[in-house]
Amino acid sequence: MGRSVTRSLLTMIATVALFGTAGTGVMAQDLVGAPHPAHVHQGTCAELDPEPEYPLSEVEPVSPDAEPGAVEVGVTSIDVSLDDLLAEPFAINLHESTENVENYIACGDVVGTVVDGTLVIGLYEQNDSGYSGVAALSTTGNGGTDVVVFLGFGLSNAAAEATPAASSTTASEATPAAVTTASEETAVAILDYSFDGETVEIPVGTTVTWTNDGGVIHTTTSTDGLWDSGIMSSGEVFSHTFDEAGSFEYICTLHPVMTGTIVVTEP
């Protein structure tokens, strides 16, 4: 692998390790189990072809004496270019074990922006497994693709625990806060490790556009499943239109200490 790819992969390891220690209360012993089969499938996680297209190496569990926050890793080189993987719907899918291969535990669609020859995607929890993580797909010199999967237990719980619980505090009491006047579009900048304006108040019908102005990858992800940008590289944008009044909390799933709230009011 190239030097820039190696740096990207080390960043992913650090990111997932941070997730694994962010208040999950999950010790390494809880992560130990059977290796997880992994494959590239045609289709999306929502509509997955059950027959694997490209087998990946099994994701090996951590050892019993591993440090808290240790992640499980699988490394594979497959004979297909990254451009071909992006040309039609593909997804990376992980299974509980060889014995329970029909139980999917994490999945991620192969979509996004390639940076320095590497595409990073999120692997999202399936079937209440408790497992999630990231995968890095990198172009090789012979036209193939290196696939490195990082999987951890309790990452989704870490994101949920890092999100402040809903309370009776009003938007005007929250600090810092950015309150907009009636308009049809509002911009929110994603900084390196915070959202510019933790609380934004908008009228119903407004479109909020997030722009990653930071130097690292981020997401804007609703805690109630209303929207999910997927991984956003520096400079990428994502928009969502709010058609109903309410208070909507969101996080960056890669850095769950980053939180924000969109307060939508009737005109």
User: What does the pLDDT look like over 156-187, one tens digit per residue?
Assistant: 444 334 444 433 334 334 444 444 444 588 99
Structural domain span for residue 174 = 163-265
- On the question of pLDDT at 21 being above 50, the answer is no
Lowest mean pLDDT among 104-113, 155-164, 195-204: 155-164
Q: How distant, in Å, are the alpha carbons of 8, 10, 231, 237 from that of 13?
A: 9, 5, 16, 25
- In the prediction, which pLDDT does 182 show? 42
Q: Do 202 and 128 have their domain in common? A: no
- Of 110, 144, 160, the one marking the end of a domain is 160
**Cα distance between residue 51 and residue 90, in whole Å:** 12
Between residues 116 and 32, which one has the greater pLDDT?
Answer: 116
pLDDT digits (tens, 9 = 90+) for 65-96: 666 556 788 899 999 999 999 999 999 999 99
Question: Rounded distance, CA 175 to CA 84, Å?
Answer: 46
The last residue of one of the domains, among 138, 160, 182, is 160
Are 11 and 128 found together in one domain?
A: yes
Let me know whether 150 and 110 are in one domain. Answer: yes
Question: Are residue 103 and residue 204 in the same domain, yes or no?
Answer: no
> Which of 141, 160, 179 is the last residue before a domain boundary?
160
Say how many domains are in the chain.
2
Q: If pLDDT is split at 50, 70 and 90, which confidence band does 188 have?
A: very high
30 to each of 71, 162, 248, how far by Cα in Å?
12, 20, 33
